[in-house]
Structure 1
C-alpha cells in the first residue's frame, strides 16, 4: 500500500502542483516530503482496512487526506485562465513545450493576488479573483 500511495501522491503533485515538484527537486527533498505525507496517513489506512473498506477506496481516501493542503491548484487555475482567455498563447505555449514552465512562472507573478483573495476551494469561483488573475496573466503574456 505504501508504494501505491507514494506513486499516487507523486502523480497528483506532478499534475496539479508542478511548482511544488520544482521546489522539492531543487531542495532535494521530494522523497522526504512524499514519505512524510504517506506515513501520516498510514494509521488511517490501517483503520479503514480493519473496517473492511476496499483497497481502492482506502487509497482514494488517503490521497484525499494527503492532498488537502494542495487544493485548490494554482497551477490548474492559471492554466485554465490561459486556455479560456488567451487561447492563442495557450496553443503556442503548449506546442513549444513551455506551458508548464510559464504557468509556474505565473504562479509566482500572481502570488500576491492569490494571497490577497485568500485563494481556497470555497472562493476559487470568485469573479473578482478571476479578473485580477486575467489582468496579471495579460500583463505577463502580452
Structure 2
C-alpha cells in the first residue's frame, strides 16, 4: 500500500507541482520527500484499514491528505491563466519546450500577488487575484 501511495503522490506532483519536482531535483531528495509524506499519513491509513474501508477509498483519502499542502497548484493556476489570456505566448512556449520553465519563473515573479491574497482553495476564483496575477504575467512577458 505504501508503494502505491508513493507512486500516486509522485504522479500528482509531476502533473500539479513540477516546480517541487525541480526543487527536489536530486533523486534522493525527491524519494525522501515522498517517503516522508507517506510516513506522515500512516496513522490515517491504518485507521482507515481498521475501519474496513475499500482500498480505493483509502488510497484517495490518503492522497488528499498528502497533497493538502500542495493545493491549490500555483503552477496549474498560472498555466491556465497564461493559456486563457496569453494564448500566443502560451503556444510559443509550448512549441519551444520552455513552457514548464517559464511557468516556474512566473510563479516566482507573481509570488507577491499570491502572498498578498494568501492564495488558497477558497480564493483561487477571486477575480481580483486573477487580475493581479494576469498583470504580473503581462509585465513579465513585456520585459522578456
Report whether the alignment pairs 1:141 with 2:136. no
Q: Per-residue displacement from partner, 1:40-97 (whole Å, max 9, x unpaired)?
A: 1112111111211111111000000000000110000000000100111111111211
TM-align CA RMSD: 1.3
Map of 1:108 onto structure 2 = 108
Structure 2: state its 5+ residue gaps: none
Match in the other structure for 1:129:
129
SS at match of 1:125: coil
Runs of 4+ that moved beyond 6 A:
none
TM-score under structure 1 length normalisation: 0.95
CA distance in 2, matches of 1:43, 1:28: 24
Matched pairs, number: 142
Where in structure 1 are there 5+ consecutive unaligned residues?
A: none
Task: Confirm or deny that 1:89 pairs with 2:89.
Answer: yes
SS in 2 for 1:52: coil
* Equivalent residue, structure 2, for 1:32: 32
